[in-house]
Amino acid sequence: MTVSTPDSSTPSHKENGSAQPLRFPVICIDGPSGAGKGTVTWRLAQALNYQLLDSGALYRIVGLKAFEAGLITEDASNVIDEAAVLALTQNLEISFVPNNESGRVDIIVNGEAVGEQVRNETVGGYASQIAVFPEVRQALLKLQKDMATRSGLVADGRDMGTVVFPNADVKVFLTASAEARADRRVTQLLAAGQEADFEAILTTIKARDERDENRATAPSKPAEDALLLDSSILDANAVYEQVKQHCQDQGICFNS
C-alpha cells in the first residue's frame, strides 16, 4: 500500500509513560460506521498536516474485490474461503490520496478509483464479513502499523486504539445511536440522488454492529483510556471542537 501524504510532524516517544524508540504522533478515532469518524479524522489530518488512515476503507476494498472475484456473494450465510481472500489481499496495491476539493480521500486500488463503490452500503456489509478473518486482519495490520513510521497519523477505524495502535497519543471512541446513523446515511444517499430506505439501512447498521461488537478477533469497543463521545445530537463542528480540545489536552499542538 502506498500513501500520498506529507511527512511533516514531530516524532514522539510517548509509550505508556516509558521511554521507547522515537515515533510520530498517532491519533485514533474509533467507533461504528456513521458516527462521524471520517469527518473529524479529515479535519484533524488537515489541521495537523498528518497522514490519514481510513482503516474501514481497507476492509471495504478487500470486501469489494472479494465480491468482484466471486469469493463473497449476496447471501451472507455462504461460507467464504479465507485463504483465497488472504491471497487477494496480499496482491492489492492501495493508495489514499487526499482531495481538497471534495474534502474526502480518493481511494485508488490497482490503478482504479474505487471510492464510490467502496462507500456503498452493501460493500460495508462485505467489509464486516471480511473483518472476522484473523489472517486477513493480520495482513492489513502490518500495512496500517507501517504508516505510523513515516509521519504523524490520524487513524479512523474500529480497533485502532485497542489493537493497531494501543500506545497512541490520543484515543477517541465516537459513537451515535443506530437511528441517528441511519438517518445520516439516508440524507447522504438522497443528496447524492440515490434511493434510500431508512428501515433497510437501520437493519443493516444493527446487523453490522452486532457482528463488529461480538466477533472473536478484535471486537469493536472503546480503549480503556479513550475519550467517549456520543455524536447523536452533535453536529460535525461540535464533535471536531471537542476532539481537538482533547488532543490539545494530550499535548498535540495545533497551529490555529
pLDDT tens-digit series, residues 72-102: 987 777 889 999 999 999 888 887 777 777 7
What span, in angstroms and rounded, lies between the C-alpha atoms of 228 and 66?
Answer: 34
- Which of the residue ranges 19-28, 80-89, 180-189, 202-211 would you say has the lowest mean pLDDT? 19-28
Which has more confidence, 215 or 204?
204
What span, in angstroms and rounded, lies between the C-alpha atoms of 87 and 135?
Answer: 10
C-alpha distances out from residue 206 to 58, 134, 210, Å: 21, 23, 6
What span, in angstroms and rounded, lies between the C-alpha atoms of 57 and 70?
Answer: 20
CA dihedral 131, 136, 138, 139 (to 10 degrees): -130
**Amino acid of residue 59:** Y
Which has more confidence, 221 or 171?
171
Through-space distance between the first and last CA atoms of the chain, rounded to whole angstroms: 32
Report the Cα 239 to chain-centroid distance in Å.
Answer: 17
Contact 80, 97 (CB under 8 A): no
pLDDT tens-digit series, residues 13-30: 454 444 444 479 999 999
pLDDT tens-digit series, residues 63-76: 999 999 999 987 77
Report the Cα 189 to chain-centroid distance in Å.
Answer: 20
Tell me: pLDDT of 182 over 80.
Answer: yes
Contact 118, 60 (CB under 8 A): yes
Which distant-in-sequence residues (6+ apart) come within 8 Å of 109 by Cβ? 61, 65, 92, 93, 94, 95
Grid cell in block for residue 211: 457482528
Q: Give the pLDDT confidence score for residue 9 in this predicted structure.
A: 52
Which has more confidence, 147 or 16?
147
What span, in angstroms and rounded, lies between the C-alpha atoms of 43 and 70?
Answer: 37
Q: Give the pLDDT confidence score for residue 46 in this predicted structure.
A: 87
HSE of 216, CA atoms in CB hemisphere, 13 A: 3
